[in-house]
Structure 1
Amino acid sequence: MIKRTLTSFILLFISVASVAQNSQKAKALLDEVYAKVTSYDNIQIEFKYALENTEANTKSETQGKASLDGDKYLVELFGSKQLFDGKLVYTIVPDNEEVTIESPSEGENTVTPSKMLTFYREGHTYTWDILQNVQGRKIQFVKLTPIDTNTQIKSILLGIDAETKHIYKLIETGDNSTKTTITVNSFKTNQPLSKSLFTFDEAKYKNDGYYIIRN
């Protein structure tokens, strides 16, 4: 009985040590990604956005693009635009001719555009995952599990290009059987951005007949 208990304890210790080592490897890689991303003046990406719900048997895909400069961002997706100028979020929907202006949500769990490349820095545990060969590129995946048990996010898989240390893919799995996948098709840095890119021109949209909603 004692021998069996000691054997179980040793196996458990080896398992815990292995998990800790994997966690350290994962964190070290994410630290490299963070250092690389934050070294750029700005980033422009083009991506594929896919949403799948197995319970509802639904799946949709679309293309999008984003410009990121510090916390500021401009995202174009589903024919709409979302702009954050560092203070307020502007959601522009041409189909409805509406603009919604609101403060950024506090304690937001989902991965927002401004956090897409740096969100993993806190609030998660890390696990070293699979290595995939994608058209000659080595993509190392790291699994992130939220520490907050009340979040609707079950896990996030972050695929990182082993050579460039750029994020290639993000797979977010929710508790409601919804899977969101963002695949980066183009990653450009330090581009000559217009000074007005992250500025909302309210007068322009009013003149174009848009209804302005302030929350």
Structure 2
Amino acid sequence: MKKIVLMGMLMGSVVFNSVAQSGGQNDPKAKSVLDNVSKKFKSLKSVAADFVLKVHGANNSVADSRKGTVYLKGPKYKVTMEGQEIISDNKTSWTYSKDVNEVTINSVDQGATTITPAKLFTNFYDKDFLYRLAGETSEKGKTLQNIEMTPTDKSKSIFKVILSVDKKQQNIARMKVFEKNGNQYTYEITNFKPNANVSDATFTFDPKKYPGVEVVDLR
């Protein structure tokens, strides 16, 4: 399965490296929805959210499905999935792969435009995407406001993202990423816990808890 760093809900985190370009108009109705999500997230001390990642092939068949959890506290995050953990304290990031018992360490580039899980819930969209409200749908008793987003940098492999927001709770319910090669990735939030009890130790990697782990330090 291709790894997407969502930076991440992710990462899995999902990561977009975008370079903003001029042109196009944004939908003020969509901006209002996104601003409300950002405002609510910034008011929370922490978040824990369970999600399901589904990978669709070019024929729209589900090629892979994985469950995971993302923990957020300000700019810090931790994403756990089967066989993988991605951790950042906003200065250092650790990516742990269970199958090879290896952790890769990197410094966080504060100037990067990569979308981290924390940025996903805030106003990352203003510089790197054009967006419009694409209507509402009813699913599982919820009203979802669907926002279609297109990267301003057309050279990227991603050509569209559909962000679905729970209208009542003002939380992100789902994100669907479309690539030019036909692959699609869907992140669906199955459980959102605001102000969860998350300690600061969650956002550092303790090698003592991973006996024999190989450390690859790229800082």
| TM-score bracket for this pair, using the shorter chain length | 0.7 to 0.9
Bigger CA radius of gyration: 1
Secondary structure of 2:198 counterpart: coil
TM-score normalised per structure 1? 0.82
Query: How far 1:36 sits from its partner (Å)?
Result: 0.9
For residues 99 and 170 of structure 1, do their structure 2 counterparts lie closer, same or farther at Cα, with a shift above 3 Å needed? same
For residues 48 and 34 of structure 1, do their structure 2 counterparts lie closer, same or farther at Cα, with a shift above 3 Å needed? same
- Cα separation, 1, equivalents of 2:145 and 2:37: 12
1:172 alignment partner in structure 2? 177
For residues 153 and 117 of structure 1, do their structure 2 counterparts lie closer, same or farther at Cα, with a shift above 3 Å needed? same
1:78 alignment partner in structure 2? 82
Deviations along 1:175-211, one digit per CA (max 9) or x if unpaired, are 1211110000000111222231112224554xx1111
CA RMSD in angstroms, aligned pairs only: 2.2
- Cα separation, 2, equivalents of 1:183 and 1:149: 26
1:16 alignment partner in structure 2? none
The structure with the greater share of residues assigned to helix is 1
1:12 alignment partner in structure 2? none
1:212 and 2:215 are equivalent in the alignment: yes
1:142 and 2:161 are equivalent in the alignment: no
The gaps in structure 1 that reach 5 residues or longer are: 1-18
For residues 103 and 195 of structure 1, do their structure 2 counterparts lie closer, same or farther at Cα, with a shift above 3 Å needed? closer
Secondary structure of 2:200 counterpart: coil
- Cα separation, 1, equivalents of 2:133 and 2:60: 31
The gaps in structure 2 that reach 5 residues or longer are: 1-23
Query: How far 1:104 sits from its partner (Å)?
Result: 3.5
TM-score normalised per structure 2? 0.80
The structure, 1 or 2, with the larger RCO (C-alpha pairs under 8 Å, 6+ apart) is 2
Which 4+ stretches in 1 moved above 4 angstroms?
55-58, 105-109
1:46 and 2:50 are equivalent in the alignment: yes
1:59 and 2:63 are equivalent in the alignment: yes
- Cα separation, 2, equivalents of 1:163 and 1:131: 12
Query: How far 1:125 sits from its partner (Å)?
Result: 1.0
2:203 alignment partner in structure 1? 198
1:97 alignment partner in structure 2? 101
Deviations along 1:112-145, one digit per CA (max 9) or x if unpaired, are 3233322324311111103111111100101111
1:69 and 2:77 are equivalent in the alignment: no
Q: Give the total of aligned pairs.
A: 193
